[in-house]
Amino acid sequence: MIELEGLTKRYGAKTAVDHLSFQVRPGVITGFLGPNGAGKSTTMRMMLDLDNPTSGTVRIDGKHYRELQEPLKYIGALLDAKAMNGGRSAYNNLLCLAQSNRIPERRVSEVLDLVGLTPVARKKSKGFSLGMGQRLGIASALLGDPEILMFDEPVNGLDPEGIHWIRNLMKALAAEGRTIFVSSHLMSEMALTADHLIVIGQGKLLADTSMADFIQENSRSYVRLRSPQQERLRDLLHAHGFIAVEAGNGTLEVDGATTEKLGELAAENGLVLHELSSQRASLEEAFMQMTASAVEYHAHGTDVHGGAPAPGPQWGTTSQGA
């Protein structure tokens, strides 16, 4: 459990983080979102006591970071893939960290094995690709087998196999009851990974809700219907006060209804449905909606807030598994 209370960081006149209070709970993956410059990195660094807050506190299991005995056994963090000494081998980089927190040396080989770096364990880490550096950083986070894990942009530089692996690793760690806090710019990735979301913009808390609620609150959701008896279906819906919009391809879209209700209605009236699915916007759309005003660098030339759902397969379009 991580608790932030009134956490604030000012650099001169600029307030990077502004009275941020939230909790990161065990057993779920909490996603940490925000546009560039929103204060995500600063917040994460203050959580690890690397930056000093101007005011406010961070508590890890009720304690200040500096009070932690052997902190790697409480909290492991991947902040920056390059936060290792390139002149040292991967193995030795981890060995220094392990020794400082009295973690047995065999754990070093274990985590290297876990992240798939055993073949290059004795190579100097400066020759590592971004993806390998990332794996080394993940290994260092797992070193103390901590109950709390923080990952800043964990999929950076990983290939699809690596992305798939880290996602499942985080889910498995959360399922074991650990606290997982992960920041990312990749909404589609977050939609697959996180259960809970904390969104900040310009240093302030914008949302602290479950993934499903976040999408629900920040975007349109509707039910899509398809039937061989489309005319009858539409009349029936109108008769019951639902507004059905024709959306091409023989589908109808209905706002403000649940699939349960419409399914019952169709069954009662003996209508055959070939599709009855609830459609929700993607996390990306919901996020864009919410943070539209909190973005620092605006690009020009294209419509950045394209309202229409993007074509192609959509992640998180239904409630499945979320």
The label of the residue with tokens 């900040």 reads 200
Q: Which of 10, 19, 25, 88 is close enough to bind other proteins by CB under 8 A?
A: 88
Nearest-5° angle of CA 105, CA 111, CA 113? 110
Q: CB under 8 A: which stretch of 19-27, 210-218, 240-248, 264-272 binds other proteins?
A: 264-272
Asked whether position 161 contacts other proteins by CB under 8 A, the answer is: yes
Contacts of 276 (CB under 8 A, 6+ apart): 223, 224, 225, 226, 259, 262, 263, 266
Q: Which of 29, 58, 72, 252 is close enough to bind other proteins by CB under 8 A?
A: 72
Pairing label, strands 204-210, 196-201: antiparallel
Say what angle helices 259-268 and 230-239 make with each other, to 10 degrees.
Answer: 110
Residues in the chain: 322
Q: Residue 267 CA to chain centroid, in angstroms?
A: 39
Q: Which of 210, 216, 259, 289 is close enough to bind other proteins by CB under 8 A?
A: 259
Asked whether position 318 contacts other proteins by CB under 8 A, the answer is: yes
Asked whether position 97 contacts other proteins by CB under 8 A, the answer is: yes
Structure token pair of residue 257: 């209804």
CB of 10 to other proteins, least distance (A): 12
Asked whether position 250 contacts other proteins by CB under 8 A, the answer is: no
Phi and psi (nearest 5°) for 194? Answer: -85, 150
- The amino acid present at 322, given as its one-letter code, is A
Q: CB under 8 A: which stretch of 17-25, 98-106, 214-222, 231-239 binds other proteins?
A: 98-106
Asked whether position 301 contacts other proteins by CB under 8 A, the answer is: yes
Asked whether position 255 contacts other proteins by CB under 8 A, the answer is: no
Q: CB under 8 A: which stretch of 24-32, 75-83, 209-217, 231-239 binds other proteins?
A: 75-83
Q: Which of 96, 239, 243, 245 is close enough to bind other proteins by CB under 8 A?
A: 96
Asked whether position 220 contacts other proteins by CB under 8 A, the answer is: no
Q: CB under 8 A: which stretch of 23-31, 151-159, 202-210, 237-245 binds other proteins?
A: 151-159
Structure token pair of residue 145: 């087998």
